[in-house]
Structure 1
Amino acid sequence: MSSEYKTLQEIPFSVLDLAPIIEGGTPRDAFKNTVDLAQHAEKLGYNRYWLAEHHNMPFIASSATSVIIGHVAENTSTIRVGSGGIMLPNHAPLIIAEHFGTLESLYPGRIDLGLGRAPGTDQLTAQALRRGRRSDGQDFPQLLQELRAYFDPALAVSEKPIRAVPGQGLDIPIWLLGSSGFSAQLAGQLGLPFSFASHFSPNNTLAALDLYRRHFQPSEALEQPHAMMGLNVVAAETDEEAEYLATSLYQQFLNLIRNDEAPLQPPVDNMDELWSPHEHAALQQQLGASIIGSRETVKRKLEEFIEETKADEIMVTSQIYDHKKRLRSFEIVADIMNEN
């Protein structure tokens, strides 16, 4: 694999929106902010706008992921819209094929289907979603094969395959998502694009990318490996302001550690008053790849990250409490990516 890497201006930047429900806000507010951010991202030149499936989490509103994808696509015109991701073991593959076949039929050439193998929730909720069908993710390759066959009947193993209508014959890009090596290796073997969750699993980044690139086999979908990296980015006018805004992100992950289901919290002046040294260390491990700072700091850290990972695309997620500050953060990143 070549040691060369693309510059900031050569790679696409995209958006991952967790549709955060903030303290004092509602899911309806979250959806209004999602549409506003998507329209903002489209004007700023971002490549994709993805939403993620989570369940039974009072701080994330995007549980009905395909529904909100359609809402975003309807209220934008050019940006690609998709899932980052749909948790495949939670659903019958036929249902996903029909949902995304419908989306692609409504918004042709703009829909992405990113797939994960985790439940996106706790085990009790996963059981409620799956209605007794047990899955630890090991059957993900079989579920993926079934799903892909609904779009391309040539991949079907049955002589009289069930048809996804709409869905069959549509060219919807399928991405595999991962935070470890399982999906990285599978994406490589199948010749599919891969998106890695550096925003919460930074320590596995380089090993997963190596697996993906070493096992990559060219396919009809992709001739060369394409790795997109998820990153927490909080950009502001100064380093100090960015660090202050990032305390909402820290609090969210702290609450996850403590099984506290609070909405996204306002920023605070001093996180040391909230976390223990052990919790602080744990969060540093989980959020270690986060890029937080002024324009100059964010640019430098992005350049370092791209040089280290040889990323083909960056997907930015920003858990910022104040919506206007969140918009501003994406503006600053866009200024960096569009710089001549």
Structure 2
Amino acid sequence: MKLKLGILDQSPATMGGSAASALKNSLNLALMAEETGFHSIMYSEHHGVEAYASSSPELLAAIVLSKTNRIKIGTAGIMMRNYSAYKIAEWTKMLSTLYPERFILGLGKAPGGLKDAVMALNNHKPVILSNMETKLEEIIQFIKDKEGIYDGLIAQPTHVQHIPEIMWLGSGMTSAREAARHGVGYSFAAFMNSENGKENTDTYLKEFDSTQYFPRPSLQVAVAVSVADKIEDARRNAYGMAYQFLQSRQLASPNAVFSPEAVEQKILGTKEEEEFFTTLNRIIIETPQSVDQRLDEISQKYHTDDLLILCNMYREEDRINTYKSIIKNNR
């Protein structure tokens, strides 16, 4: 089965590299994705960390939209706690007007950075965590030109001809039910929580309210993948990404992507070695000949043809080769 494949681009910085190089790689990757037939590319938001270069996915999305013609571009996602619903709705409607049916608004509840970065984004005021769903409701109201908490307030441009897709990002049952309740898409981060994923996504599909934002559910599953001609190389190429996942699980600020050799020096013989290899084993590690079957299995498991592929590697050519192998074998 031919899948609807997308790229989750975190604009990964690498050991010894720069944020400028990482952003340039993101632009080149987008052009490759457009040329080779990917359905979409989504940009993440991170603040105050060395690992990822993109702090403004909406800006990166706008630039890439201007440089491409077909591929859908989106955010995965805007970290809602850091911005007003009104401002998110405004630039979303601008992009949806300038690039109709090509922009996807992905929204997330995570902080997007450690405590100091989040405080700085919020003018050093405590963040209210209980209003994320309310913000989603307000964004929808502004996009649809409905009256909300501010009577008569409009978000320009009004009367958007094609309202944008909205994807609610998450890895737990709460986010699945929220997406279903508001009739928006659900992007499930399987690379973060594959253990209970089926239960969460089934709940989204079962409880989806077709009377709300969109009439049909839109389920996307995000997975981490590494592909190389030899399975041993694919596994080693994934070391840097797995180490970043490990750091995130430990609530530490992730480093730039390390080389496999540097990861081995940090991990082997330490108390973190077992947890690191457990994390590594959650990544889909395949050859060009086997990756399409593995992705088909994931598609069938979650009852969706929409897969978002994450691939952070020390060598950019290995990352590009992974994506090219995946799209080439998507029959």
The corresponding residue for 2:301 is 308
1:332 equivalent among 314, 317, 325: 325
Q: What code does the residue aligned with 1:178 have?
A: G
Preserved contact between residue 191 and residue 217 of structure 1 (Cα < 8 Å): yes
CA deviation map 1:248-273 (0-9, x unaligned): 21232344438364311122398486
Alpha-carbon offset, residue 82 of structure 1: 0.6
Distance 1:26 1:197 in 2: 27
CA 1:71–1:253: 2 relative to 1, 3 Å: same
Alpha-carbon offset, residue 104 of structure 1: 2.3
The corresponding residue for 2:257 is 264
The corresponding residue for 1:292 is 285
CA 1:302–1:329: 2 relative to 1, 3 Å: same
CA deviation map 1:284-332 (0-9, x unaligned): 5555542112123322322222222222300001011211221111111
The corresponding residue for 1:31 is 23
Identity of aligned residues (%): 25
1:18 equivalent among 2, 5, 10: 10
Distance 1:273 1:112 in 2: 38
Alpha-carbon offset, residue 119 of structure 1: 0.9
CA deviation map 1:40-70 (0-9, x unaligned): 1111111111001111111101101211111
**Residue 130 (structure 1) aligned with residue 126 (structure 2):** no
CA deviation map 1:49-100 (0-9, x unaligned): 1001111111101101211111111221111111010011110111111222
Aligned partner of residue 214 in structure 2, secondary structure: coil
The corresponding residue for 1:114 is 106
Preserved contact between residue 101 and residue 168 of structure 1 (Cα < 8 Å): no
**Is 208-217 or 158-167 further displaced after alignment?**
158-167
Preserved contact between residue 180 and residue 207 of structure 2 (Cα < 8 Å): yes
**Residue 202 (structure 1) aligned with residue 167 (structure 2):** no
- Aligned residue-pair number: 329
Alpha-carbon offset, residue 278 of structure 1: 5.0
CA deviation map 1:160-215 (0-9, x unaligned): 33211235535111111101112210111122111001122222312211221221
Distance 2:119 2:153 in 1: 26
Alpha-carbon offset, residue 216 of structure 1: 1.0
Preserved contact between residue 114 and residue 174 of structure 1 (Cα < 8 Å): yes
Distance 1:95 1:85 in 2: 15
Preserved contact between residue 22 and residue 265 of structure 1 (Cα < 8 Å): yes
Q: How is 1:1-340 mapped onto 2 (pairs within 5 angstroms)?
A: 7=1, 9=2, 11-135=3-127, 137-154=129-146, 156-158=147-149, 160-166=151-157, 169=160, 171-219=163-211, 221-256=213-248, 257=250, 259=252, 261-268=254-261, 271=264, 274-275=267-268, 279-283=272-276, 286=279, 288-337=281-330, 339=331
Preserved contact between residue 197 and residue 229 of structure 1 (Cα < 8 Å): yes
Aligned partner of residue 153 in structure 1, secondary structure: coil
Distance 2:56 2:149 in 1: 31
Distance 1:281 1:18 in 2: 26
Distance 1:273 1:236 in 2: 24
Distance 1:226 1:73 in 2: 22
CA deviation map 1:1-52 (0-9, x unaligned): xxxxxx3x1x301010000111122121111111111111111111111001
5+ residue gaps, structure 1, are 1-6
Aligned partner of residue 195 in structure 2, secondary structure: helix
Aligned partner of residue 289 in structure 2, secondary structure: helix
Q: What is the TM-score when the length of structure 1 is the normalising length?
A: 0.89
Q: What is the root-mean-square deviation of aligned Cα atoms in Å?
A: 2.3
**Is 265-274 or 119-128 further displaced after alignment?**
265-274
Q: What is the TM-score when the length of structure 2 is the normalising length?
A: 0.91
Distance 1:285 1:161 in 2: 54
CA deviation map 1:123-162 (0-9, x unaligned): 23212212255445321111111111111123x3347332
